[in-house]
Chain A
């Protein structure tokens, strides 16, 4: 029951987030400060999601070089900088990750 409440609540919130500025009758505009703050939403929030995945696989801090998540992330960053291609970097770093796990 609670799960359905969460699902529908999330559905409503996400839709409102997407729709609110598409509504022509909405007179309010975000202040410049609010806009600047939201401009950091993508790097800020996405990084926060990545952090624990990369540094804490199996819920334990792992800063060793044989942590495949950490190594593959570095490879992914390198690939993006080098190739400038989002999709290619994703696929190659994932391939690297699975090879590494199979090898280690």
Chain B
């Protein structure tokens, strides 16, 4: 599973950032064990460090992970007929990576054991790298200055760029990018959520206009 290696910098970062934000090692590991959502974890750690409130962190989490609603919706026809244990298990493991690897499968091709194997591999890799990050973060101060945060940007750029194929998506990305920099410059607490929503809204409106014209 070479793709689970791609979680390495993320896991290390999630672990070491948690320590740096004065979370206990148990809390840092708990985030990975209980939440298991890379982007949301890193943003939440950043917000906790910045002193954001519980509500705004949870709202950000909800929005940041709302793409899972889409994954759930498109996996519905293969997973919803399965017994409850499978639904809950695979639901918990349904990450961007698992979706990317199994979303092409139709009802015949879909293998619950394969999906479970892939999902668990990511889960275990993610938690091991988090643990490594916690250990390194506690023993090597200043790990966060190495620029591991670029790995987040690199991962997301690699995920976003292929999606940008039409005008509405370009507008969405441009608005989101501009707003996120502007709002962060103004040091708004909910800069990420607001700019993400602004971008989504811009893309959505543009899509409407675009379709009406053509």
Residues in chain A within 8 A of chain B (CB atoms):
2-11, 13-15, 17-24, 30, 33, 35-56, 61, 68-69, 72-73, 76-77, 80-81, 84, 86-87, 89-90, 93-94, 97-98, 101
Contact = CB atoms under 8 A, between A and B. Distances in A.
B27 A20 contact: no
Interface of B: 2-3, 6, 9, 23, 27, 30-31, 34-37, 39-41, 43-44, 48, 54, 57-58, 61-73, 75-76, 79-81, 87-88, 90-92, 94, 147, 149-164, 168-169, 172-173, 176-181, 184-185, 191-193, 195-197, 199-201, 203-204, 207
Contacts of A41: 63, 66-67, 70, 196, 200
B37 A6 contact: no
Given A86-B162, A97-B154, A47 B44 contact: no
Contacts of A18: 65, 68, 71-72, 91-92, 94
Contacts of B30: 4, 7
Contacts of B151: 90, 94
B127 to A, nearest CB: 14
Contacts of A46: 39, 156, 159-160
Given A9-B58, A54-B153, A23 B67 contact: no
21 contacts: A7-B31, A9-B61, A10-B34, A11-B34, A13-B62, A17-B69, A22-B90, A22-B91, A24-B81, A40-B203, A43-B160, A47-B177, A47-B199, A51-B181, A53-B152, A53-B153, A56-B185, A73-B153, A76-B153, A89-B154, A93-B154
Nearest to A30: B73
A73 B156 CA distance: 10
